[in-house]
Amino acid sequence: MSEEVDLNGYYEIVENAISELGVDAQEARGEAEGQWNLKRGNASIWIDLWYIEEEEGAYFQVMSPIMTLPEGDEEKHQMYEELLKHNYSIFGVAFTLHEDGIYLKGIREVEGLDLSEVIFMIGRCGNYADAYNE
């Protein structure tokens, strides 16, 4: 078992970025430490910063729900193909399947993470999600 990692400095970077975006970081805090929730236009943005013991590393993730999966197999196939095409032309995030929905997601290791990168990742995910949100 690896020793516990202090993420407090990274939490501070994320909260400073959220504040720079005009959102009260304390109000945006989620139920668990290292989670924040905010809106960008019509899009919900979920922010997570956590340590994964199996990976022996901490990660910063920005994620936004886009749509639920269509019912039919043909509709799903068409949607998957369309989203893969969109993945080619968007930057820093990608469409991903999670449970019964499609999400936009950006993730990276926390090592070297700085304020401007957090602002850009949140903004980019939010802007794309607002544009693609159903």
pLDDT digit string (tens) for 73-94? 999 999 999 999 999 999 999 9
Beta-carbon contacts of 31 under 8 Å, excluding residues fewer than 6 positions away, are none
Q: Which tokens in the block code for residue 13?
A: 């970077």
| 3 inside domain | no
- Which domain, by its residues, includes 115? 8-132
Predicted pLDDT at 1: 39
As for how many domains the chain has, the answer is: 1
Give the predicted TM-score (pTM) of the model. Answer: 0.91
| 116 inside domain | yes
| 1 inside domain | no
pLDDT digit string (tens) for 24-80? 999 999 999 999 999 988 999 999 999 999 989 999 999 999 999 999 999 999 999
The model's confidence at residue 2, banded by pLDDT at 50, 70 and 90, is very low
Predicted pLDDT at 102: 97
